[in-house]
Amino acid sequence: MMKTNKKLNIICIALSIIVILYCLTSAIQQISNDKKYYKDYVVKNELGKQVNLDDKQIFNLYDSLIDYIDTGDETLIKDNFNNREVLHMKDVHQLFNLNKQINKASMLVFYLFILMNFIIILYKEKSKTLTEKDLNIFSEKTKLVKNYILVLIGAMLILAIFIASDFSKYFIKFHELFFDNDLWVLNPETDIMIRMLPEDYFMKMASRIAFSFISKLAIIIIILMGLSYLAKRRRNV
Read off the pLDDT of each residue in 190-209 and give the average, rounded to a whole number: 94
Does 39 score more than 90 pLDDT? yes
Give whichever of 45-54, 89-98, 125-134, 213-222 has the largest mean pLDDT: 89-98
CB pairs under 8 A, 24+ apart, for 25-28? 25/99, 25/100, 25/102, 25/103, 25/106, 26/103, 26/107, 26/212, 26/216, 27/209, 27/210, 27/212, 27/213, 27/216, 28/96, 28/99, 28/209
Calpha distance 93→69 (Å, rounded): 5
Does 100 score more than 90 pLDDT? yes
Calpha distance 229→237 (Å, rounded): 13
What per-residue confidence (pLDDT) applies to 4? 57
What per-residue confidence (pLDDT) applies to 15? 92
Calpha distance 99→93 (Å, rounded): 10
Element housing 76 (H / E):
none
What per-residue confidence (pLDDT) applies to 237? 54
Task: Tell me if 20 sits within 8 A of 101, measured CB to CB.
Answer: no
Average pLDDT, the chain: 89
Does 234 score more than 70 pLDDT? no
Question: Which residues have a Cβ under 8 Å from the Cβ of 235 and sit 6 or more positions away?
Answer: 132, 135, 136, 139
Domain ranges across the chain:
6-236
Does 3 score more than 70 pLDDT? no
Neighbours of 108 (CB within 10 A): 12
Read off the pLDDT of each residue in 184-190 and give the average, rounded to a whole number: 92
Does 174 score more than 50 pLDDT? yes
Does 165 score more than 80 pLDDT? yes
**pTM confidence score:** 0.88
What per-residue confidence (pLDDT) applies to 117? 77
Read off the pLDDT of each residue in 151-166 and give the average, rounded to a whole number: 92
Residue with the larger pLDDT of the pair 93 and 142 = 93
C-alpha distances (whole Å) from 135 to each of 148, 220, 226 are 20, 20, 14
Calpha distance 103→188 (Å, rounded): 34
What per-residue confidence (pLDDT) applies to 1? 43
Residue with the larger pLDDT of the pair 232 and 9 = 9
